[in-house]
Amino acid sequence: MSREFTPSVLTANDLLDGDVIYLAPSGLWVRDLAQAYLFTDASNAAEALDMAEGQQDRLVGAYLAPAQPGPDGPAPGHFREAFRAQGPSNYAHGKQAEA
């Protein structure tokens, strides 16, 4: 029995710097979850995932992550995604160093 599709964002890691990236409505990859495209249709999400899996020269580990609508854009739907959206756990790198 297949599970019902839940709203999701397409996420991966940037191949060159390892940072978490998300597919935006423009088709570009962004580093801010709030700028990501929130997929609500399973077939559109699967098509985007197939496209991402073909970008092995740009990203690694693409997958659909559960998300929910938030006041400023998509918000994490699972604690793992909330952790990934914060950036590396080492404060001297990435998103947390910029804060």
Could you tell me the strand order of the sheet in which 29-30 lies? 29-30, 20-23, 8-14, 59-70, 73-76
Residue 26: domain span: 8-88
Domain assignment of residue 56, yes or no = yes
Domain assignment of residue 58, yes or no = yes
Domain assignment of residue 52, yes or no = yes
> Along the 99 residues of the chain, how does pLDDT read in single tens digits?
567 899 999 999 999 988 999 999 999 999 999 999 999 999 999 999 999 999 999 999 999 999 999 999 999 998 788 878 887 665 665 566 666
Q: What is the bridge-based pairing of β-strands 59-70 and 29-30?
A: unpaired
Q: Calculate the CA 14 to chain-centre distance.
A: 11
Domain assignment of residue 73, yes or no = yes
Collapse the DSSP code of 37 into the 3-class scheme (helix H, G, I; strand E, B; otherwise coil) and give the result.
Answer: coil
Tally of domains in the chain: 1
Report d(CA 82, CA 32) in Å as an integer: 12
Domain assignment of residue 95, yes or no = no
